[in-house]
Amino acid sequence: MGELRFTSEVYSTPNRVDAPSRADDGGHTAPCSAPPRLALVAADPLLSSARRPHCAALGHDDAVAILMALHLPQIQLLGISAVHGNASLYNTVRNAVRCLLAFGSKEQIERIPVYAGAAEPLIRISRVDNEIHGEDGLGGVEGLPASDDPRVLAKLDETKGQNAVLAIAAAARSLPADQKLTLVATGSFTNAALFVSMFPELVKTKLDQVVVMGGAEGRGNRSPTGKLLAEYNILTDPHAASILLNAEIPVPLNITHTAIFRSHDNETLLRAGTPNPDKLVNETPATASSASSPLKAHTPLRHTLHTLLNFFAATYKHVFSFNEGPPVHDALCIAYLARPDIFHAKRYRVDVELEGAYTQGTTVVDLYDYRKDELKDFIADPESRRSWGKFGKNALLLEELDVVEFWKLFQECVDRADKVSMLNKAET
């Protein structure tokens, strides 16, 4: 089985890193380089191994994650599955398609499927986050195809009636014998939990790891009572998170509040690229920016990304008093797949509180190895797949990030997207 790697929302700001690979006896990771991976992304999950699936919830930071998954050469994106979370499933699956159409090349748009996944949590009542992401999950974004655009509807028709969890299983089975899949979950973990529950043999033989954005070491950003004990992606389906953490797969969590989109990142975004005099777009300064005069976006794609991150900055300032800019949480999952060398990680036991009236959804990280004697599988063989499961240290917590290198990665992805985006090819 693979590992579960978490990108958790901690509030420190380290920026030194080493590359995580395999844990030493103290739980730290040794540096390594990463081969290409196949991925599935879930928009509240994505599909990818040097092919990966991605599961996504689809909000503003999910959109940045999809952009990077499409344009990092170390990743082959196999598909995108949407899930409830930041908005309703109706909106998140459409947002996933809108982002694929806007950020992908013609070949990627034709090749990469988008699936609708779970519309509700396993047990608890569903919730959405309009306060942060707007009514449709991508509030304030200009330039994306509309949800009812014929191209969006045609892409949705390609997978109409197909189940996202079964699609992840089919993607895993289709891989050559020597290849494995990585599942990236950047929203609620419902799709991912259903997959590991329904297909344990595929988890053992074809799943390399699950990389997730969720949880918090200490204070979170949401809770049932407003006490900010839980992190939102865990709170939306804590039972799914518990199932995923107890599967025998490595799970990395990350330090997303270190990757803040600041005013200088906004200026680089707008000014970089080759300007097209016919398509320069006047911008007001980003909410997080101290710039006093408008800039011009050199391309329509950069204008779209500016409006996306500007709206996110405004809501984070209003709700969380983030004055320097928004954290691009989900994008760090994708960065980890491509460049594990810019992170430093340590392995822990992590559990999810399922019942507490005040604490449901809280991730309990055993920072001091108080439960060491209970972790029989980890003690027996810390390198085995079983050591990641119910009786092991089940999560690799990404604790430090080279922030400068991360933003270089982001800007490189925008540069690549600029060359192929249909937004830049559209008629003025």
Handedness of CA 88, 61, 266, 297 (dihedral sign): negative
**Beta carbons within 8 Å of 178's beta carbon, 6+ residues apart:** none
CA diameter of the chain: 67
Cα separation, 91 vs 107, whole angstroms = 24
- Residue 273 in tokens: 């690229």
Cα Rg, the chain, nearest whole Å:
20
329 as an active site residue: the answer is yes
Catalytic annotation, pick one of 60, 84, 329, 344: 329
Query: What does residue 266 show for φ and ψ, rounded to 5 degrees?
Result: -65, -45
How would DSSP label each residue in 125-193? PP---HHHH-TTSSTT--SSPPTT-HHHHHHHHHTTT--HHHHHHHHHHTS-TT--EEEEE-S-SHHHH
Cα separation, 161 vs 342, whole angstroms = 40
Cα separation, 100 vs 94, whole angstroms = 10
Active site amino acids: 329
